[in-house]
Structure formats: structure tokens, C-alpha cells
Structure 1
Amino acid sequence: MVGQLTIKVLGELNVTRQGQLLPLPQSKKTRALLAYLAVVGRPQRREHLCKMFWEVPDDPRASLRWSLHKLRPIVNTEGHVRLHADHNSVLLSPQTVEVDFNGLACLRPADLDVLDTETLESLATTFRGEFLEGLCLQHCPNFEAWRLYHRDRALRAHMAILRALIRRLQDSPERANAYSLVLDRLTEEIAAVGLPGRWSEPSVSATFETAVPSPPVTPSKRSQEIRFCKTTDGVTIAYAVCGQGSPIVRAAHWMSHLQYDWESPVWRHWIDALSEKTKLIRYDERGNGLSDWVAEEISFKAMIADLESVVDAAGLDRFTLLGVSQSCAVSVAYAVRHPERVSGLILYGGFVKGWRKRSDSHEVATHEAMTALIREGWGQNNPVFRHLFTAMFIPGADQVQMDWFDELQRISVSPINAGRLHEAFGEIDVSDVLSQVTIPTLVLHARKDAVVPFQSGREFATGIPGARFVDLDSANHILLANEPAFEQFIREVTRFVAETA
């Protein structure tokens, strides 16, 4: 095509027109804006771009106009208008721009088995380095989360391509060895930053408009290893391992993301405290986080199967099982099925029966309305709807924690899956099996929890023989780092694990 513009993001950002390298603006934000528009390939609201790249004390709209002014001479040439901007939105037309990431974005793991060797080698050469290497914007957390997400995705895909080539070239040791050396280097890089080492077909849209803002990261010896396993119905589940000692499995709860939770101001203190003296295994249930977002079945039965798959994949013979919120019921069901593997059962903030099974007509009507609202309002840029959930989950949070949780809700689960999960939680009922729990059980519940009423925790303690109940003085469904209730929670859990492990 005459005047074809090529934008390469798999490495340092560069732009070429008819093979000639073009000079780019010195402003890193302007270059980042160009890369973002190129990869996304669809109209972006000016309001969203301002929020992603510029801080409120500045004049975001003026800054955006200045950056677009700098980009137009680069992308609009020879009569081709590629950059379209009106009062509301901005678009870099994907039909007139070639982006090296696009070939990767549409590639699926199954494709690697059918593509010819020449095509695979061509794909391998597109990786000149890390996704947008060197284009880090420390003061633009939304852009950074987006960049890191694509960096991780590109690294996993690169490794999968290299593995396919190594298998394909077994009869050509010299060529295979060259790819093995590259794979070894990537493996070391991934180990250094704690990224998943395997690639599964991405179910999350690669063009989400905003992402969870990552809080400042300080140097630390903390590290986690993210792994993947398959359930009996073929769903890929992501799980993470950190710490050393007796194993404790935290059954998955709604809205989790192994990678973002790791540095979050809402969950980091949980992870650090629980892994200080134990080996902590966490996982994202189907429909959430790094696990498959496309799953035919999302149900209580499937949640139990996810837990069983993770325990088996982690090679655990005996462990402490921690249930949080709806995963308390999942943990109870697992403990009844596999009592020989669970040394102790910890239940925090859970319920015995879901909202539909509690048969309160007013509550059912309320939750049905909430399900409809979730499907309609969850994915919108305006976090007002999701903030209603945030205010219920962590009413004692500061602004940073609330903002983070607002965005986590969107990045960790799609509106459709959020609705499906909410429906599935309504069908939970383990009331008939509580008396069958034969292992030591510790039940904890926040006294003023607005998400799951205090009475729900007492029902677990009443129905499970010999269960010990601890009343925590808090209104937060997710206990925060600076409250005495969290310190009490950790003391009780630590003592219980030591007594039962």
C-alpha cells in the first residue's frame, strides 16, 4: 500500500513509512499516546485519554491537544488522514496503520501446531525486545497497568512460539539451539519479574480502556510464582505460590487478580501476613483475573472443581484451607469431600446459603435488580456504580484504597461474568453438609460487615461440630491493614494453623 505506516511496539517504539524510520517527539507521554492508540485501534474518548496520561492539576485537554498536534505530521502524510479527532474522541485508523502487535493479538495457542515453520520463525523475529521497552510512565498508573498487561502477554506468547519452534526443529539441532538460548534468556527475565511462564489463550480484551492503578512499588524480596492448571472441563485456572512452610490454600473469592493483588493496598497485607510462616497458594477462579474468562459453566459445582484442580496441580497432600466470603461454602464442600487432605478449616466472612436460597422475597428482588445493574453498569468508565460495592466492601478505606478497588472490579472480571457469578452465588447452599465437617474449624466474622451479615458467620459456627467462633470488631468485609481487627485475625489464624498443621 502506498504510504503504509508501520508502528512497532514489540521492543522500543518506532515508526516507519515506506521503510524509512521517522523521528518521534521527545515527549514520552506523546509517544505513549501514539502507541496506545495504535494498539487499541478503536475510538477513545478524550476524557479517558486525559485521565490516562495527564494529572488533574495540569490542563489535561490542552496537553492532549498539544500531543495530537505533534503526532499529526508523523501519521498524516501524502494525503492520508490517519489520525481522526473530534470534540469527543480520538482514533488512529487501524486500516491505514500496520502494527506488529496485531499479528500476535489474534494468535491462539492452537495456531502454533498448524502454522508452518517459516511463519513461526517470522513471528519470532517480530520480537525486538520487551513490549514498549523503555516507555515507562511512573506517574501514569493507568497507562502503566495497560503497558504491563501487554508486556506480560507478549512475553508469554514469545515463549510459546519459541517452544513450538524448538519442538519443530528437533532434526536441526543448530537452529533449535539458537531458539533455546533466547528462551532461556526470557525464562530468566520472567523469573526476575514474577510473570507467568506459560501462555493460555487470552480471554480478556486487550483493548480495555482503563486499568487498575498500581500503587508505588518499593524494592522487596517478595516473590511469587504463577502457574496454570486445567480443570476437568478444560478451563485454565491460574494459581500463585509464595512463602515457605506448612501449606495454606486460600480458596478463590469474587474479584481477584493474582498479579494486581500482589501489590495492592487492599490485599497485599493479607498476602504478606499469611505467607510469612506458611506456603500460601492463591488462585483466580474461572471468569476472574488470570484464569479463563470464557467458561461454559460458572456454578457452585464448578467452583469446587476449580479448588480441586488447584490442590491437585500444586501437589498438596495435606493443608490448611481458608475460605473468604462465598468461598467459605466452597471450602466446606471440599472439606466434606476430602477430609483426609484438610488439616484445618478457616472460614472468614462467609455465608451458608446464597441470596436466592435464603428465600427472602425482598432480598431476592433486590439481588435480581443488582444482577441487571452489574451487567449494564459494571464496565462503564464512570466508577460510580462500582463504587457502591466498594463502599460496602471496605467502608473504612482511604481514597487510595477505594480508587484501587473501584478499578479492580472492572479489570478482574467482565460485566457478563460479574453477573453470572452473582447469580451463581445466589444458588449456594451447604446447610445440609455442615454437620458432616469432621476437621477442626475456625470461623471469623466482622461484627458490622455490610456485605455478609454477622448472623451468617454464626450459622457456620453453629452448624459445624466443635467450630470456634471469633467476633471481629470491624465494618470492613475485607479487613484493612491498619485496623486492630486484622491483627486479631492474623493472630487467630496463625495460632490455629500451628495447632492443626
Structure 2
Amino acid sequence: GSRRPFSLSMFADDVVAAADQAGLDRFVAAGISMGAAIAMRLACRHPDRVAGLLLVRPAWIFDDAPVNLLPIAEVARLILDHGPDKARSIFAQSETAARLQREAPDNLASLIGYFDRPDAAPFAQVLADIAADGPGVSASDAAVLGITTLVIGNAMDTVHPLSAALKLAAAIPGATFAEIHPKALDSVRHFAELQAEITTFLLTYSNFRSLVPS
């Protein structure tokens, strides 16, 4: 599309359009990182469409441009200013890269991957726009959600801090919170625990819905 800047509201509109095209009146909105923010916006702006909410490793709570996304904004700006090859060299020598290597090596690996994308330059604009954006919802919006919700977080993740997952879970009435093993320590265990939590949530949700008269 031609709409600019890129935004979470734009991506949420895309989800609604895709659901309309697929004939899905109601659905479980689920997402990881940016996807969690999109799912949160869908739940608050389209409560008649969202039947369940699954937020995995959220990077946003309610504010625009949270400080935990500064590394993404930094990488985006370097690519836009210098091109991916020179930007990679500059970033590798940065204090941000050194800090992430100590605190959240999985985040560092993801950021380095942005330099290797074949569409690194245009994708950097997406990164810059999204890192400066927010879900466009408030704590008061979350407080009136009446949707079955699971929030999943893990430690050792600077871009997706465990505190963000905990705060979102606390802000949504009746939400369940689950902490899983850090991806930075053991990705196999991380994804196994993630899959187990998602499966349990969907099965519990399905069983609950089957007991509710239509």
C-alpha cells in the first residue's frame, strides 16, 4: 500500500480487512512482539470481533516509542543513513551491541539479522516508523476488556521486557500470565514451553466456549 508512515493502526486495519475477506466474524487475536501490540489494538478497537487475546513477549504497554525499542530505532537509523554494510560495522562497535551481548544476546542476534535482509533499506523505514509508534490504546481501554486473555513473557529480553508482559497482564481484567524459559538461554526449551502455553490456552478457550449457550 501507499499509506505512510507505517503504523500499528495500519497493520491492525490490514488484519481486519484480511478477516473480512476470509469471512471471519470473530477470532482469537494473537501476536508476538509487534504482533502483540496489534492484537491489543484489535481487542480494544474491535471488541465485537476479538473473542480471545494472546499476547506473547509484548514490546509495548500503552505508550508510543517505549525506551526498550531504542535499539531497533538505532539500527533503523544506521541503515537509512549508511546502508546495511557500513551500518553493520558501526553497530557492531556500539555500546548498544555490547550491552545486548551481555544482557540479551537473542535480541542482538535479531538486530544483526536486519542488516542481512535483501530489503534492508526499505525495511529499515518500517522499523523506524514502528519503533516510534504505539498501539493507540490506554490503560482505561484495557480495563474494560472482557476477553479471555493470556500474556506470555520471559526474562533476558531487553526489547521485550518481562515487566511489560507483567504490566499488561495486570491491566487486563482476569488475564492469565505465564513466564517461560528465556530464549537466550535455551531456544528449544523456550519454544516448547511457548507452544505448550498456547495449546493449553486454545484448548481451555475452546472448552469454555463450548459450554456457553449461543
Q: TM-score interval w.r.t. the shorter chain?
A: 0.7 to 0.9
CA distance in 2, matches of 1:339, 1:464: 13
- Which letter does structure 2 place at the counterpart of 1:327? G
Residue 33 (structure 2) pairs with residue 325 (structure 1): yes
What's the offset of the Cα at 1:470? 0.7
CA distance in 1, matches of 2:115, 2:74: 22
| Partner of residue 427, structure 1 | 133
CA gap 1:441/1:378 in 2 versus in 1, 3 angstroms: farther
CA gap 1:428/1:468 in 2 versus in 1, 3 angstroms: same
Structure with bigger helix share is: 2
| Partner of residue 45, structure 2 | 337
Q: Identity rate of aligned residues, in percent?
A: 24
Residues 243-254 of structure 1: pairs in structure 2 closer than 5 A: none
Match of 1:418 among 111, 114, 124: 124
CA distance in 1, matches of 2:145, 2:133: 21
- Which letter does structure 2 place at the counterpart of 1:425? A
| Partner of residue 85, structure 2 | 380
CA distance in 2, matches of 1:392, 1:309: 42
Whether the 8 Å CA contact 1:446–1:476 is kept in 2: the answer is no
CA gap 1:486/1:385 in 2 versus in 1, 3 angstroms: farther
Segments of 5+ residues of structure 2 without an aligned counterpart are: 207-214
What's the offset of the Cα at 1:372? 2.3
| Partner of residue 209, structure 2 | none
| Partner of residue 61, structure 2 | 352
- Which letter does structure 1 place at the counterpart of 2:48? E
Residues 381-460 of structure 1: pairs in structure 2 closer than 5 A: 383-384=88-89, 388=97, 395=105, 406=113, 410-411=117-118, 413-429=119-135, 430-432=137-139, 433-460=141-168
What's the offset of the Cα at 1:344? 1.5
Residue 204 (structure 2) pairs with residue 499 (structure 1): yes
What's the offset of the Cα at 1:449? 0.9
Residue 14 (structure 2) pairs with residue 306 (structure 1): yes
| Partner of residue 462, structure 1 | 170
What's the offset of the Cα at 1:341? 2.8
What's the offset of the Cα at 1:301? 2.0
Whether the 8 Å CA contact 2:103–2:158 is kept in 1: the answer is yes
CA distance in 2, matches of 1:452, 1:354: 14
- Which letter does structure 2 place at the counterpart of 1:497? L
- Which letter does structure 1 place at the counterpart of 2:50? V
- Which letter does structure 2 place at the counterpart of 1:426? A
**What's the CA shift string for 1:58-90, capped at 9, x where partnerless?**
xxxxxxxxxxxxxxxxxxxxxxxxxxxxxxxxx
CA distance in 1, matches of 2:76, 2:53: 31
CA gap 1:488/1:307 in 2 versus in 1, 3 angstroms: same
What's the offset of the Cα at 1:422? 2.5
What's the offset of the Cα at 1:446? 1.3
Whether the 8 Å CA contact 1:379–1:415 is kept in 2: the answer is yes
CA distance in 2, matches of 1:365, 1:394: 14
2:48 match: secondary structure = coil
| Partner of residue 190, structure 2 | 485
| Partner of residue 144, structure 1 | none
- Which letter does structure 2 place at the counterpart of 1:460? L
Segments of 5+ residues of structure 1 without an aligned counterpart are: 1-234, 236-293
- Which letter does structure 1 place at the counterpart of 2:124? A
CA gap 1:417/1:386 in 2 versus in 1, 3 angstroms: same
**What's the CA shift string for 1:317-361, capped at 9, x where partnerless?**
3322211102212111111232233232110111214563x5x6x
- Root-mean-square deviation (CA, aligned residues, Å) is 3.6
- Which letter does structure 1 place at the counterpart of 2:194? F
What's the offset of the Cα at 1:414? 3.9
- Which letter does structure 2 place at the counterpart of 1:335? A
CA gap 1:310/1:425 in 2 versus in 1, 3 angstroms: farther
When normalised by structure 1's length, the TM-score is: 0.34
Structure with max Cα Rg = 1
CA gap 1:487/1:368 in 2 versus in 1, 3 angstroms: closer
